[in-house]
Amino acid sequence: MHPIAFELGALKIHWYGIMTALGFLCALGIMQLRRKHCKMSAGEISDFMFMLIISGVLGARIFYVIQFWDQFRDNLWEIVRIDHGGQVFYGGFLCSIIAIIIYCKRKKLSLVRVMDSSAPGLAFGHAVGRLGCFLNGCCFGAPTSCPIGVVYPEGSLPDRVYHGLALHPIQLYEASGNVILSLILFYSIGKVKPGQTFSLYLIIYGVFRFVNEFFRGDHTDFIMGLTPAQTLGIGIVATGIFFFTYFARTKENVRTDL
């Protein structure tokens, strides 16, 4: 693993940036396959995904900088170097939700159906992005004696924190979980009521992320021994359960006009 994919003269192309871009392209392709469900044209899907790229990256970076401000205090230029890694998924997720609500209201689209159609691509794109985290050496795991443990190269951030120790490849755990989740969500569209697919995403990912955080090695406790992602994840799961139940009981015309 190495953060730099290749060099073009003085320009260094980082794997994190490549995988992030690839993740968005995968999300775009998957949503195109389900665009009939949300009644959007191919062009509208492309515009929609471009908007999500901007809002998602911006939100994820802002949350990361706030959470790890000590890394940027003496080097403010590093704030804009997103190619070096460093994004908080829930930050990008929340900003993207706000952007989707605004977009659907302006375009007079069904928010519920757009959210359902977005969910499988969101999960798969997130999986690809986590591969970038693995190659970059960020979001690393805690020490482990399991045979699947990974020893990072000397000089990398994980090596500086846990010199020479094997660490949980937590990024690969999350990537694998998101691929499976993407498949579940993709085939649930049309088989469950509108609104329940995205609700399932909130529930399943929230639970999975909560458990996965116990194997993280780059976070400190936030509240009652929980990491920031676990604390926020509890609210995400509760929200998912609420909406899954709500959409199960609400009439079709109300669900799809939200």
What digits encode the pLDDT tens for the residues 89-125? 778 888 888 999 999 999 899 999 999 999 999 999 9
Distance CA 190, CA 187 (A): 8
Q: State which residues form the domain around 150.
A: 4-256
Whether the Cβ atoms of residue 60 and residue 89 lie closer than 8 Å to each other: yes
Q: The whole model's pTM is what? A: 0.85
User: How does residue 220 score in pLDDT terms, banded at 50, 70 and 90?
Assistant: low
Amino acid at 78: E
**In percent, how much of the chain has pLDDT > 90?**
44
Q: Rounded to a whole number, what is the distance in angstroms from the first to the last CA of the chain?
A: 45
Residue 224 pLDDT greater than 80, yes or no = no
- Number of independent structural domains in the chain: 1
H-helix or E-strand containing 8? strand 4-8
φ, ψ of residue 117 to 5 degrees: the values are: -70, -25
